[in-house]
Chain A
C-alpha cells in the first residue's frame, strides 16, 4: 500500500489507461454525493465500464466539462463551499472520462488528476460542514489503490 503521494503518483502513472480510468472513478465515487448533477453520475458509471467506447467517453467528457465550467465560483461572488465541492467533483469526473484524443495531462496522469480533484472536493465539503479542512481522503485513496492492485 502506498504510504506517501510520491509512491501513490508513481503507481497510478504506471497503470494502463483503462485501469487509471477505473481506479480514478473509484476515488471519485467517494465524493460523488457532493454533486447532484445526474450527468456526472452517468459519466462516472461509464468510467467504471471496461468496454466504454471512444464515442461514449467523448460524450461523457463533454457533459462533465459543461458541469465543471458551469460550477466555477465567480470572482467577486460569495463562495458556497458545498457548491465548490460539486465543482471539484465535476473536475474529477472530467479527468476520469477524458478521451485519449484530448492528449495527456502533462507529466501527470488521469487517475492522479482525479485523485487530486476528489481531495479538493472533500476539503471543500469539510469546510462547508464547518469541521475545518482535516480529512483522511488521501489515506482512503491509498487503500483503494492498494485493493485494486491486489485484486
Chain B
C-alpha cells in the first residue's frame, strides 16, 4: 500500500465503512503485480467512486477452491463476507483472477449457506459499468496490434465476455480476436490449479501449444488478459517458445489512458 501511495500520490483507503466498493487483490497482484492496485487507485479517483481495502479480507485467492477442499474454501470466503458486511459495502470487486471470481461469485453463497448482502463483480464488469455510466473516460489509443486472452473462469464459466472487449476498444485501434475467442477460448495452460504444481511445468508448456497456435494465427504485438495467473502462465509459455509478445493486464492498460496522469 505504501509503495502504491508513493507511486500514485493517492491514499489507499483501508477499512472505511459505508463505501461503494471493497476491492480484493489476488495473491499474484500482491506479490508480483503492484501495478494493479496503482491502476485501481487511479481509476477510482478518476471515476469519483468510494472504495476501500479490508484488513481482514483483502485477498481473493482461494486455495480451497484450487485444491477442492470445501471447508477451506468456506473459511476463505467467510473472511471476505465478514469484512464486506462489517464495512457495509455495496459491491465487492473480484480482482484480475479467474478462480477467485468463481470462488466468491458462484461458489461463495453456497459455501456459506446464504445469499450475500452485497453484490460481487469482476473488475472488468465494474469498469464496463463505469464506462456505460460515463464515469470512465480515456484519451488516446494504443496503435500496436492487441489481442485478448479470455480467462476460462471469467468467460467460459462466468459468462463475462463482452465487457472486456468494450474496454479494450476504448483504448485500442488495432484489436484482433484470436480463433475461438470468448466462450470457446482455450486455457492458458495453468488453469485448474495446474499453475501451482511445480512438477506440472511440462504439462503447462505442452498445453500452451494451443495458445501458441492461436497467437500465431493473429500475430499480435501485445497480449492483454484479466487474470494474474493466466498472465504468469502465458509469460512462461511465451518465454519457453521464444515469442516476444509482452503480456499486460487490462485494468492497467485502461489506467494508462486516463486523463490527468499526474493524479
Q: Which A residues have a C-beta under 8 Å from some C-beta of B?
A: 4-6, 65-66, 69-70, 72-77, 79, 84, 87, 102-103, 106-107, 116, 119-120, 123, 133, 138
Instruction: Find the B residue at minimum CB distance from A107.
Output: B261
> What would 11 more interface pairs be, CB under 8 Å, given A75-B61, A76-B195?
A6-B9, A73-B31, A73-B32, A74-B196, A75-B27, A75-B195, A76-B66, A76-B193, A76-B196, A116-B3, A119-B6
Q: List 24 A-B contacts (CB under 8 A).
A: A5-B6, A6-B9, A66-B239, A69-B239, A70-B239, A72-B232, A72-B236, A73-B31, A73-B32, A74-B195, A75-B26, A75-B27, A75-B28, A75-B61, A75-B66, A75-B196, A75-B228, A76-B61, A76-B193, A84-B31, A87-B32, A102-B246, A107-B261, A116-B3
Interface size band for B: 20 to 34
Docked Cα-Cα span, A5 to B38, in Å, equals: 14
Residue of A whose beta carbon sits closest to that of B253: A106
Which B residue's beta carbon lies closest to that of A133?
B2
Q: Whole-angstrom distance between the alpha carbons of A5 and B262 in the complex?
A: 10
Q: Does B68 contact A (CB under 8 A)?
A: no
Interface string of B155-199 (1 = CB under 8 A from A): 000000000000000000000000000000000000001011110
What distance in Å separates the Cβ of B64 from its nearest Cβ neighbour in chain A? 11
Given contacts A5-B9, A6-B9, A116-B7, contact A79 B235 (CB under 8 A): no
Q: Which residues of B contact A107 (CB under 8 A)?
A: 256, 261
- Residues on B with C-beta less than 8 A from A103 are 144
Interface residues of B in 243-261 (CB under 8 A from A): 246, 256, 261
Chain B window 7-24, contacts with chain A (Cβ cutoff 8 Å), 1 for yes, 0 for no: 101000000000000000
B-chain residues with CB within 8 Å of residue A87 when the two chains form the complex: 32
**Cross-chain contact B236 with A69 (CB below 8 angstroms):** yes
Q: Counting CB contacts under 8 A, is B104 at the interface?
A: no
Instruction: Contacts A87-B32, A106-B256, A107-B256 given; indicate if A74 touches B6 (C-beta within 8 A).
Output: no
Q: Please give me the residue from chain A that is nearest to B201 by CB atom.
A: A74
Evaluate contact between B31 and A79: CB separation under 8 angstroms.
Answer: yes
Taking a contact as CB atoms under 8 Å apart, the answer to whether A72 and B235 are in contact is yes
Determine whether B229 belongs to the interface, using a CB cutoff of 8 Å to chain A: yes
For the complex, what is the distance from the CA of A70 to the CA of B235, rounded to whole Å?
Answer: 9
Compute how far the CA of A87 lies from the CA of B256 in the bound complex, rounded to whole angstroms: 23
Assembly CA distance A28 to B32 (angstroms)? 18
Q: With the chains together, A138 CA to B31 CA distance in Å? A: 20
A103 to B236, CA, bound (A): 21
Contacts of A123 in B (CB 8 A): 3
